[in-house]
Amino acid sequence: MIQFNETTILKVNEIIARYPEGKQKSALLPVLHLAQVEFGGWLAVPVMDYVAQLLQIEPIEVYEVASFYSMYNLKPVGKYVFEVCQTGPCMLNGSDNIIDYIKSTLNINVGETTTDGMFTLKTVECLGACGYAPMMQLGKTYREHLTKEKVDSIIETCRSKAN
């Protein structure tokens, strides 16, 4: 059965309480983040249905939001998710080359995960760090001024941490 643990439930209730009665849908984004962390890094349909039930909204309202924002994963992802920005400033500074390099190095396409379950490659829109283009998000950190050498080193570090 899908259910947040007790600590997370307290957090969810605290988030819902920030909004006026009947406006609990406003808590959807942060609650989806909590759900993604707690239920394996992605939002399966039953997880989204559970969130809908908690917030007393229709499941479709959750699906719409979860499928709109790139930070929510609708299928299982690897241990490390490379979210490479592909918007104008990053593109002008070579994000296409970085994306191609990651694809060939990891032997995956955008949206795919390596067979060992280690890496997922996603492309995303502007992450607000245009001055550091080309860049990507990796977990809670930004990796900036990417080069092929930096990508190699990031991959190596991830692999060594996982071993």
List contacts with ligand FES (CB under 6 A): 85, 87-90, 126-130, 133, 135
Task: For the CB of residue 36, give the shortest distance to ligand FES in the complex, in Å.
Answer: 22
Of residues 22 and 131, the one with the C-beta less far from ligand FES: 131
In DSSP terms, 121 is beta-bridged to: 82
Residue 62 or 154 with smaller CB distance to ligand FES: 154
Nearest residue (CB) to ligand FES, 65 versus 129: 129
121 backbone dihedrals φ, ψ, rounded to 5°: -110, 125
Q: CA–CA distance from 122 to each of 20, 78, 107, 113 (Å)? A: 36, 11, 14, 9
As measured in angstroms, the least distance from the Cβ of 31 to ligand FES is 26
Smallest gap from residue 116 Cβ to ligand FES (A): 28
The nearer residue to ligand FES, 18 or 145, going by C-beta atoms, is 145
Q: Are 127 and 135 in contact (CB under 8 A)?
A: yes
CA distance 37 to 42: 8
- Shortest distance, CB of residue 95 to ligand FES, whole angstroms? 7
Nearer to ligand FES, 108 or 127 (CB): 127
Is the peptide bond between 59 and the residue preceding it cis, with omega within 30 degrees of 0?
no
Q: Shortest distance, CB of residue 160 to ligand FES, whole angstroms?
A: 27
Strand order in the sheet with 80-85: 119-124, 80-85, 136-138, 141-143
